Amino acid sequence: MRFIYAIFILLLALITSAQCQQTAKDWFNKGKALDDQGNYADAIKAYDEAIRIDPKDSTAWTAKGVVLSGLGKYDEAIKCYNESIQLNPKDAYAWYNKGYTLRLLHKWIEAIECYNETIRLNPKNAYAWYNKGYALMLLGRTKEANAAFAEAKSWQYR
């Protein structure tokens, strides 16, 4: 009887354990919810757990970068974006956020390169066009900046 009881407890523990295991997507969603609530430290921990489970999840890398950038941890954010871009070079969102973070660091040329890649992947991204124009303006490249601003305006309400 003890043997049957022990097997029952073992099976119950295995079933419960399997049901309680969270996937990378679960952790990503938890991170997103925590980020939306302004709980950035715990959001980063959740994204880290998603990345631990699935290190090739470029979306989790980008989301972590966005939170880090918002906290002013720009170098760490750029490392996250680089990882995301390495995993998925066609992710316009990662390129855009890397450019924006580089812009915050006043690395205008590098930011423009990221915006150019964003625009190559998604020519309708008004934010990328605007921020490219902003960086060009700060470099004194007014004619190019105005052209970028015009593109941003043309895609703004579409």
Tens digits of per-residue pLDDT, 94-126?
Answer: 999 999 999 999 999 999 999 999 999 999 999
Instruction: Identify the CATH assignment for 105-158 out of 1.10.8.50, 3.40.50.10860, 3.30.360.10, 1.25.40.10.
Output: 1.25.40.10
| DSSP H or E run through 150 | helix 142-156
Q: Which residues of the chain have pLDDT under 50?
A: 3, 5-6, 8, 10-19
Q: What is the pLDDT of residue 20?
A: 57
The structural domains of the chain, with segments of one domain joined by +, span 22-89, 105-158
Q: What is the pLDDT of residue 6?
A: 42
**Is the separation of the CB atoms in 67 and 32 below 8 Å?**
no
Spell out the CATH class of 22-89: mainly alpha
Q: What is the pLDDT of residue 9?
A: 52
Spatial CA neighbour of 51 closest among 83, 77, 78: 83
13 by Cβ neighbours in 10 Å (0-12 / 13-18 / 19+) ranks as exposed
Query: How far is residue 59's CA from residue 129's CA, in Å, rounded to a whole number?
Result: 23
